[in-house]
C-alpha cells in the first residue's frame, strides 16, 4: 500500500464483499461473516488476507474448488477427538465454530484441542487466536497437509516448491494494551502477499522468492511460473512447516485444496489470577517497548499492538486499496451482476 492509494470506507467495503459472496452462492449470513473477516484483515494491515481475495474466491468457486453454500458442523474424529467438518466451504465459519467449542471446553476442563478439516481458505487465523487470548487462554493454531495441491515453499536447501506456507498463530493474554498475537506463514511470505502484489502490479520485497531456476526474484510472475517462496528463517521455518504438514496429513488425512488444522487452548486462569498475570505481563512488555531502537527503526513494537493501532486509524480514515486492485474488484462485481452502484463506484 502507498499513501496515495484510494481509501474506501469500512462499511462500503464490507457491504460490497457480502454482496459479492452472496452472488457466488454463499448463504447471506456466511457471506456477511466472511466479508467482515476479510475487511477486518485489511483494517489490521494484513492485506494478504484482505478484500482482494474476493477475486480469487470467485475464480475458485467457478472451478468447483470449494462449496460456497456449505455450513460447518461439529463431528467426532476416528479416535474420539472433537473435529469441525467445514463441508468444503470457506474456512472462516468453521474456525468460528471450532473456536467457540474450543474455548468453552477449555473453560470447563482447563485445556482443550480440536481439529478442523474439509475447509478452503481460512483467512487470518490470528483473529481466532486473539479471541482465545481475550478469553484468558494461551491459544495455538497451525495448519498443513495440502502439499499435493499447494506446493508453494521450497524446503531449506531446495530449489523447488514442495510445501504449503503452513501457518501458525499464537495468542496469549497481554498487559494494558490487550493480547499478544503472533500470526505467520512458515514461508518468508504468505501466498496471499504474492497474489496481492501481482494484482496491484507491484514488485515483491527482496528475499521472499526464487524463480524456476532457484534464483532470487522480486517479480511476482516468477513465482507463478514455477518459482517458490523461501522458508522463513531458513531451516527453522522449514522445520516448523514440516511439523505442521505431518500433523495436517498424518493425523487428519490429506487435505483437499485447503489445509487441515489443529487448535489448542490452555486456560491460564488455572495457573494465576488474571490481574496478577496482567501486571506481570505488562512489566515484561513495557521493558521491551523501552528498548533503544536499532538504526532504521522508530521503536520496538509488541506483536498485535501495531495491528490494533492501525485498525483504530483505518476505522476513521478508510482502507487503502491500490488502484489496480480496486478496478479488479469493480470488474468482479460487474461480472457477478451487481448493480453499478454496488460496485465500489
- pLDDT of 164 over the 70 cut: yes
Please tell me the pTM assigned to this model: 0.92
> pLDDT digit string (tens) for 171-225?
999 999 999 999 999 999 888 889 889 888 999 999 999 999 999 999 999 999 9
Domain 69-150+164-187+233-269 has CATH 3.30.1370.60: yes
Are the CB atoms for 304 and 288 separated by under 8 Å?
no
Looking up cell 495457573 gives: 271
Look at the domain 1-52+321-345 and name its fold.
Hypothetical Oxidoreductase Yiak; Chain: A, domain 1 (1.10.1530)
Q: What is the pLDDT of residue 196?
A: 86
Q: How many angstroms from the chain centroid is the CA of residue 301?
A: 20
Are the CB atoms for 318 and 7 separated by under 8 Å?
yes
Question: Average per-residue pLDDT in the chain?
Answer: 94
- Domain-wise residue ranges, the chain: 1-52+321-345, 69-150+164-187+233-269
- Pick the more confident residue, 345 or 26: 26
Least reliable range by pLDDT among 48-52, 110-114, 250-254, 267-271: 250-254
Question: Which runs of consecutive H residues, i.e. helices, occur in 201-273?
Answer: 220-224, 235-246
Q: What is the pLDDT of residue 40?
A: 97
- Pick the more confident residue, 25 or 2: 25
Q: What is the pLDDT of residue 255?
A: 67
Q: What is the pLDDT of residue 114?
A: 97
Amino acid at each position: 500500500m502507498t499513501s496515495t492509494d484510494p481509501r474506501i470506507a469500512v462499511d462500503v467495503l464490507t457491504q460490497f464483499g457480502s454482496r459479492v459472496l452472496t452472488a457466488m452462492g454463499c448463504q447471506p449470513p456466511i457471506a456477511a461473516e466472511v466479508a467482515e473477516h476479510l475487511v477486518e484483515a485489511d483494517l489490521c494491515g494484513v492485506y494478504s488476507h484482505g478484500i482482494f481475495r474476493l477475486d480469487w474466491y470467485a475464480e475458485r468457486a467457478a472451478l468447483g474448488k470449494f462449496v460456497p453454500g456449505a455450513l460447518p458442523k461439529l463431528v467426532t474424529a476416528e479416535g474420539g477427538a472433537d473435529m469441525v467438518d467445514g463441508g468444503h466451504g470457506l474456512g472462516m465459519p468453521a474456525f468460528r465454530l471450532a473456536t467457540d467449542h474450543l474455548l468453552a471446553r477449555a473453560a470447563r476442563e482447563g485445556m482443550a484441542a480440536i481439529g478442523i478439516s474439509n475447509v478452503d481458505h481460512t483467512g487470518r487465523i490470528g483473529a481466532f487466536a486473539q479471541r482465545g487470548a481475550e478469553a484468558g487462554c494461551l491459544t495455538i493454531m497451525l495448519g498443513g497437509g495440502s502439499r499435493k495441491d499447494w506446493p508453494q515453499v521450497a524446503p531449506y536447501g531446495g530449489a523447488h516448491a514442495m510445501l504449503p506456507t503452513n501457518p501458525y498463530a499464537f495468542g496469549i493474554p497481554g498487559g494494558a494494551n490487550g493480547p499478544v498475537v503472533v500470526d505467520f506463514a512458515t514461508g518468508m511470505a504468505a501466498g496471499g502477499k504474492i497474489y496481492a502484489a501481482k494484482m496491484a502490479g507491484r514488485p515483491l520485497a527482496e528475499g521472499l522468492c526464487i524463480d524456476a531456476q532457484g534464483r532470487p526474484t522480486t517479480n511476482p510472475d516468477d513465482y507463478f511460473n514455477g518459482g517458490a517462496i523461501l522458508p522463513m528463517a531458513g531451516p527453522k521455518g522449514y522445520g516448523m512447516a514440516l511439523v505442521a504438514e505431518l500433523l495436517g496429513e498424518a493425523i487428519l488425512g490429506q487435505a483437499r485444496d485447503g489445509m487441515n488444522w489443529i487448535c489448542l487452548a490452555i486456560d491460564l486462569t488455572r495457573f494465576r489470577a488474571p490481574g496478577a498475570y496482567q501486571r506481570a505481563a505488562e512489566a515484561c512488555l513495557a521493558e521491551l517497548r523501552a528498548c533503544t531502537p536499532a538504526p532504521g527503526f522508530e521503536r520496538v513494537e509488541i506483536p498485535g499492538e501495531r495491528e490494533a493501532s492501525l485498525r483504530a486509524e483505518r476505522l476513521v480514515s478508510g482502507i487503502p486499496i491500490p488502484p489496480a486492485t480496486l478496478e479488479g474488484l469493480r470488474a468482479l462485481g460487474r461480472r457477478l451482476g451487481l448493480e453499478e452502484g454496488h460496485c465500489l463506484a
